[in-house]
Amino acid sequence: MTAVNPESVFALLASSALIAATGSIHCVGMCGGISSALTFTIPEQQRKGISLWLWQITLGLGRISTYIVFGGLAGMLGEQLLNLLPGPAMALGLALSGVLMLLLALHLAGKGGMLAQLERLGQGVWRRLQPLTKKLLPLDHPIKAYALGALWGFLPCGLVYTALALAATSGGALPGALIMAVFGVITIVPVATTGVVASQLQGFRSPGARKAAVALTLLLAVGFLVMAWQMSSGAGHAMHQHTSDPAVTAPVGSPGTSTTETDSGQAHGHHQHH
């Protein structure tokens, strides 16, 4: 079983939060339209004020529930995979996270083909689930809103896939679920706000905001790769010290190393003295 390093898990949780925050541009562009459209399926008298916010948050909670389940599964499967790979499991996970951050930076910059291909692969699953969403409309009950949000969590999204990959490197089901919970909670803000006051979120789509998101993601990628290198180097140094320890490498029965031999010699001398 992979030993979960609390410091590494905390770094992954912080990274998940940063992915969600920097990916707000992507969230507004991809899910903001859905959120706005769903607003018009809510009873007209509840499309304002606190009531509208509650509907949007209920949709978000359904979406987060799906993310949490996926995160737990990813963490559990990732733990098994990391156990099969050579080297420190957490160092390998952090290195993989660094590579994923590089791919996400390219994706946010509009040059990421790999994550876009993953989104296209997920379209097949979404086409099968999409007819179910129509059965939940109009949104005239909170349970229907929650269920629709849960289905919404299956929508193909490169940003979600990146967060799931982080969950897979966390070393277990619980940290994987927590990573996706943090990611989901932060994405509620831009998506729900788009459904309520879309006109106030144009700043998220500005070129400056996109460049800032790309820069932060690149810094995060470098941070992950440095942490992986440090952890791997530390493990290698510890192993070298262990194998070079005289107490470990000295042959059994050599002078000064076998307490049994020393004790028996002392007992024999004592017998001859008598």
CB 79 within 8 A of CB 171: yes
CA atoms within 13 A on the CB side of 62: 20
How far is 98 from 222, CA to CA, in rounded Å? 7
pLDDT tens for the chain, residues 1 to 274? 555 667 778 878 888 888 888 777 667 667 777 888 898 899 989 988 899 999 999 999 999 999 999 999 999 998 888 778 766 666 776 787 788 778 878 877 777 667 777 777 777 788 888 899 999 999 999 999 999 999 999 988 878 888 898 898 888 999 999 999 999 999 998 888 877 765 444 455 556 767 777 887 788 788 878 888 887 776 544 444 544 555 444 444 444 444 444 454 444 454 444 4
Residue 178 structure tokens: 């927590």
pTM comes to 0.74
Residue 141: its pLDDT value, please?
A: 94
Residue 248: its pLDDT value, please?
A: 46
How far is 207 from 108, CA to CA, in rounded Å? 11
